[in-house]
Amino acid sequence: MDSRLRVEGIYDKRTVQRLKQSGLKDLSFDFRVRSFNFLQKHIFEELLDEVSHDDQIYLLFENEADFVIESIIEVAQTKCKKENIILEFSDDQSASFYESFGMSYIWHYQSDSKNMANISSSNLLKGINLSFTDLLDAHNKVTLHNLSVNLHATFSKLFLDESGLLILNLDWDSNLFSSIVEYFDFDIISMAINNKVEVCYRNVDLSKMQDHVRYLQELSL
């Protein structure tokens, strides 16, 4: 697999350890209060003990106060180099808000965003996260080509930067279709922990998760 794999919503040390055994170095932590994978700051501090100096970590927020985000960044920087920390936002705020933290960030693409123009020209924009569900919907409506053209035109500054990231957000059992890789060159394939890889709520089935990771690692994406 050419694309890197990433797992989102990590909430325990066992999961970090197993993912690292599987060769993953992109680890995402979810600080969105409405998320089933919401992570408290003191637990995050403990999980950082399992993170290596060359791992890439992602801090995911949605409609969060700036001082809360800053407090999480401070914790992350006690164990990780600044260049190995990327913020991630699934809301629709101005680029000036995202840039106020002085760090690279990823934005979850929203076709109806009122801030897309200023986000697309942001110097700190590191990447775009695309939902597989949205791409599948566009595929079924025969508008995937138009979506691809518009996305690449709007975010041309990002895609011309060799370090820019395009992320595909999959579910564990998503059925990929061939045209998706014809229109998009994904740098990272990302899956969020959910009940499809859990024994019960917030209890990851490590073997099942690892099997899914191995399967995706063998795909040509």
Domain ranges of the chain: 4-218
The average pLDDT across 19-27 equals 97
Cα–Cα nearest to 136, from 197, 183, 90: 183
User: pLDDT tens-digit profile of 28-57?
Assistant: 999 999 999 999 999 999 999 999 989 999
User: pLDDT tens-digit profile of 179-215?
Assistant: 898 999 999 999 999 999 999 999 999 999 999 999 9
pTM of the shown model: 0.96
Q: How far apart (Å, rounded) are the C-alpha atoms in residues 49 and 158?
A: 33
The average pLDDT across 70-82 equals 96
Q: Are strands 203-204 and 198-200 parallel, antiparallel or unpaired?
A: antiparallel
Segment (H or E) for 169: strand 165-170
Superfamily designation of domain 4-218: Aldolase class I (3.20.20.70)
Q: How far apart (Å, rounded) are the C-alpha atoms in residues 177 and 136?
A: 8
CA 151 to mean position of chain CA atoms:
18
> Residue type at 6?
R
User: pLDDT tens-digit profile of 156-170?
Assistant: 999 999 999 999 999
